[in-house]
Amino acid sequence: GQQLNQSPQSMFIQEGEDVSMNCTSSSIFNTWLWYKQDPGEGPVLLIALYKAGELTSNGRLTAQFGITRKDSFLNISASIPSDVGIYFCAALLGGSQGNLIFGKGTKLSVKP
């Protein structure tokens, strides 16, 4: 079945650093979404992408929908402590299928 390969699995950030993560698949999707989840909470939508090649920003976050429709990346610029958490990519099949497929997540932690 469809699968999203998200990397890296985890990373440490220092305040002010830029962060990049990506998601790839062997399948084609019509929509890519990026979520952030804090402990004990549900995922919160950060950015939604609907067109191949689309580049969308939300504050310090920028995400792109790959031209092949099989991948997406998320960048966080000038990271701050509240950026820690788990980031998930998700992709939506078109047609009548309304389910999201999720990556395994990228855990962002602060460098000790």
Q: Which residues bind another protein (CB under 8 A)?
A: 30-31, 33, 35, 40-45, 48, 88, 90, 92-105
44 versus 80: smaller Cβ distance to another protein:
44
Least separation in angstroms between residue 3's CB and another protein is 11
CA distance 98 to 110: 35
| Spatial contact of 49 and 32, defined as CB atoms under 8 Å apart | yes
Least separation in angstroms between residue 94's CB and another protein is 5
Least separation in angstroms between residue 42's CB and another protein is 4
| Spatial contact of 50 and 30, defined as CB atoms under 8 Å apart | yes
35 versus 65: smaller Cβ distance to another protein:
35
| Spatial contact of 92 and 30, defined as CB atoms under 8 Å apart | yes
